[in-house]
């Protein structure tokens, strides 16, 4: 089971310079031209209240390009070698900046098209503002990938049943929730999950949730694979 490396918060310090294939085209782009695209390692932009990020942070990565029609409709083409270790996490981020107890709701809808080959997970990555805690929600995964930490049993929360793992990467605590069956679309209520971690398990306090990210944690995609976020919305109140 592939272990998760150091926090992406440290990526700029730890990731080596990558030889990115700038000549690779945007194979995943739809027929109509995307409003934004980038093959840069840290390429990013803001659209419709979301920040899109190419985010090639792992060692041994290959080529990757991201495109977007909006902050909620975007995709990525990636050609990463069949080697161990996470290569990238192309994602869309929505800033929250509210404490858990001040939130009355935190919900998201997702609809994705993912490949049947390669090694990856499709996941939410939720951070507190101090980056002490990382909460991952895997809605699907494929290939030789696995969460960091030890099993903590299963729980039904936010409209889904999850297998729960708890661990640390040496920089922050990581709580991973793996959906017990793969899903390409659905709705998830994130707030009950945060309250369960805080109130039921007491693994963290009343943290300020900084942002909710959603994307593809890619370990391998040899030959070039497409990952498409047909729709993603994150809302809070």
The domains found in the chain, sorted by start residue, are 8-236 (2.60.120.180)
Alpha carbon distance 40, 23 (integer Å): 11
Comparing 17-21, 55-59, 117-121, which segment has the lowest mean pLDDT? 17-21
Average pLDDT score over residue span 9-15: 40
Average pLDDT score over residue span 25-41: 71
* Per-residue confidence (pLDDT) for residue 29, from 0 to 100: 46
Q: Is 1 exposed, middle or buried (0-12, 13-18, 19+ CB in 10 A)?
A: exposed
Rg (CA), the chain: 17
Looking at the predicted structure, is the pLDDT value of residue 12 above 70? no
* Per-residue confidence (pLDDT) for residue 10, from 0 to 100: 41
* Per-residue confidence (pLDDT) for residue 14, from 0 to 100: 41
Q: Is 159 exposed, middle or buried (0-12, 13-18, 19+ CB in 10 A)?
A: exposed
Average pLDDT score over residue span 135-156: 97
Q: Give the confidence band of 167 by pLDDT, cuts at 50, 70, 90.
A: very high
Average pLDDT score over residue span 184-204: 98
* Per-residue confidence (pLDDT) for residue 27, from 0 to 100: 47
Average pLDDT score over residue span 90-105: 98
Q: In the predicted model, what is the mean pLDDT of the chain?
A: 90
Q: Give the confidence band of 18 by pLDDT, cuts at 50, 70, 90.
A: very low
* Per-residue confidence (pLDDT) for residue 81, from 0 to 100: 98
Q: Give the confidence band of 15 by pLDDT, cuts at 50, 70, 90.
A: very low
* Per-residue confidence (pLDDT) for residue 24, from 0 to 100: 41
Name which residue leads in pLDDT, 2 or 70: 70
Comparing 31-35, 52-56, 73-77, which segment has the lowest mean pLDDT? 31-35
Contact between residue 154 and residue 12 where contact means Cβ atoms under 8 Å apart: no
**195-220, pLDDT tens digit by residue?**
999 999 999 999 999 999 999 999 99
Q: Which tokens go with 27?
A: 């194979």
Looking at the predicted structure, is the pLDDT value of residue 13 above 70? no
Contact between residue 130 and residue 149 where contact means Cβ atoms under 8 Å apart: no
For 30-57, give the DSSP string. Answer: -SSPPSEEE-STT-EEEETTEEEE--B-
Contact between residue 61 and residue 79 where contact means Cβ atoms under 8 Å apart: no
Q: Which tokens go with 102?
A: 């001040």
Using a pLDDT cut of 90, give the percent of the chain over it: 86
* Per-residue confidence (pLDDT) for residue 131, from 0 to 100: 96
């Amino acid at each position: 089971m592939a272990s998760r490396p150091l926090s992406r918060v440290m990526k700029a310090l730890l990731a080596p310079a990558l030889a990115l294939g700038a000549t690779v085209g945007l194979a995943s782009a739809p027929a109509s031209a995307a409003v934004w695209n980038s093959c840069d390692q840290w390429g990013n932009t803001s659209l419709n209240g979301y920040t899109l990020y190419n985010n090639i942070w792992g060692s041994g990565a290959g080529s990757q390009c991201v495109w977007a029609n909006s902050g909620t409709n975007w995709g990525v083409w990636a050609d990463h070698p069949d080697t161990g270790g996470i290569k990238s996490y192309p994602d869309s981020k929505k800033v929250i900046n509210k404490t858990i107890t001040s939130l009355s709701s935190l919900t998201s809808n997702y609809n994705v098209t993912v490949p049947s080959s390669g090694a990856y997970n499709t996941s939410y990555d939720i951070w507190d503002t101090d980056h002490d805690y990382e909460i991952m929600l895997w809605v699907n995964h494929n290939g030789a990938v696995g969460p960091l930490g030890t099993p903590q049993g299963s729980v039904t929360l936010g409209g889904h049943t999850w297998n729960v793992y708890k661990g640390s990467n040496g920089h922050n605590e990581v709580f991973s929730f793996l959906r017990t069956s793969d899903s390409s679309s659905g709705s998830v209520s994130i707030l009950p999950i945060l309250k369960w971690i805080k109130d039921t398990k007491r693994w963290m306090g009343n943290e300020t949730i900084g942002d909710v990210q959603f994307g593809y944690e890619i370990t391998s995609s040899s030959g070039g694979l497409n990952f498409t976020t047909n729709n993603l919305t994150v809302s809070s109140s």
